[in-house]
Amino acid sequence: MDYVEARNLPGHVGIIMDGNGRWAQARGLPRASGHREGAAAVRRIVRIARRLGLRALTLYAFSEQNWARPEEEVDALMELLRDFLLNEREEILDNGIRLNAIGNLGRLPGVVRAVLDPLRRDSEQNGEMVLTLALSYGGREEIAYAARELAKSVAAGRIRLDDVTPDALRALMPSLSVGDPDLVIRTGGERRISNFLLYGLAYAELHFADVLWPDFGERDLFAAIASFQRRERRFGLVGAPAPLVGGAPAPLVGGAPAPLVGGAPAPPVGGASAPQVACAPATHESATREPASPIESALAAASGAITRIAI
């Protein structure tokens, strides 16, 4: 049985949503149908992430390189994006979600900007979760942008060459305004990063799922988070002390969650941040009624009732 620790969730999760095309192909459908199902999965996962209490979710919706796809597919994706922003506007605003966008937004068609920009502005003050859509985004392009900005500042004499530091670069990267990603998930079976959040990935935990994005659901997200929680994050330091022999529960995950804005994530100090309760009830096992969904368990956990969620 896998468990998700209710109090040790990743703060910032990034997702490379891959597999829409293959999902459609397997059903003899046009690729656009796969993207449409992919948009439905986006809706699902945003809701779950918000209810779980993730602080930031970054979705790779369209890469700078995706412009080279057939025009018909690009158009279908832009239409889906516009529809998503129109249809989800109320729910985003009502649920305290701040809608953010990163990438070369100037390349997006006017019909998308016409719904994207007002939603970004109107949700600016929301603080429950930041949903970032990476649109016309490339990690290398973002690094080059930050480097150019620093070079301009050096050339203009505003900063010295010695001021060109990792933190100075980071401060200029829109993708990291919500902090480094703690967990990056890629669906669709490939094991690569494809130019996503390159600079911020330095100490992210990676999770590769075989499931195609349109089929990605609650259980898949929980499995990814459970996998994250089984890892010991060391941030280049030495590991946590070995667990006590003779009954004490092993620390589940080292390290505190990354701060929301700026700065390197705090290195782990002395093992797991949340106390673990070895005999915490696993709701699925103990219940006689229909098993609670992981989300119900997570919400119960947030109230302090349980510390582990069976998935």
Euclidean distance between CA atoms 229 and 154, whole angstroms: 42
Examine residue 35 and tell whether it contacts ligand FPP (CB under 6 A): yes
- Annotated catalytic residue, options 66, 95, 104, 126: 66
Examine residue 14 and tell whether it contacts ligand FPP (CB under 6 A): no
- Annotated catalytic residue, options 18, 180, 182, 220: 18
Which of 11, 19, 200, 254 is the binder for ligand FPP (CB under 6 A)?
19
Examine residue 223 and tell whether it contacts ligand FPP (CB under 6 A): no
Using the minimum distance from each CB to ligand FPP, give the nearer residue, 9 or 61: 61
Closest CA to 137 of 105, 113, 103: 103
Q: Are strands 308-310 and 3-5 parallel, antiparallel or unpaired?
A: antiparallel
Known catalytic residue at 18: yes
Using the minimum distance from each CB to ligand FPP, give the nearer residue, 21 or 179: 21
Q: Alpha helices, DSSP H only, in 230-291?
A: 283-286
264, two tokens: 């390197």
Which of 4, 13, 42, 119 is the binder for ligand FPP (CB under 6 A)?
42
The secondary structure of residue 64, as a DSSP letter, is: G
Euclidean distance between CA atoms 101 and 57, whole angstroms: 11
Known catalytic residue at 95: no
Examine residue 196 and tell whether it contacts ligand FPP (CB under 6 A): no
- DSSP β-bridge partners for residue 171: none
Put the strands of the sheet holding 97-102 in their side by side order: 97-102, 129-137, 56-63, 12-16, 183-186, 205-208
Stretch of 77-85, 142-150, 201-209, 232-240 lying at the interface with ligand FPP (CB under 6 A):
77-85
Tally DSSP H helices, then E strands, for the chain. Answer: 9, 8
Which residues are tagged catalytic? 18, 66
Residues of the shown chain interacting with ligand FPP in the complex, contacts defined by CB under 6 A: 17-22, 35, 38-39, 42, 59, 61-62, 66, 77, 80-81, 84, 133, 188, 213
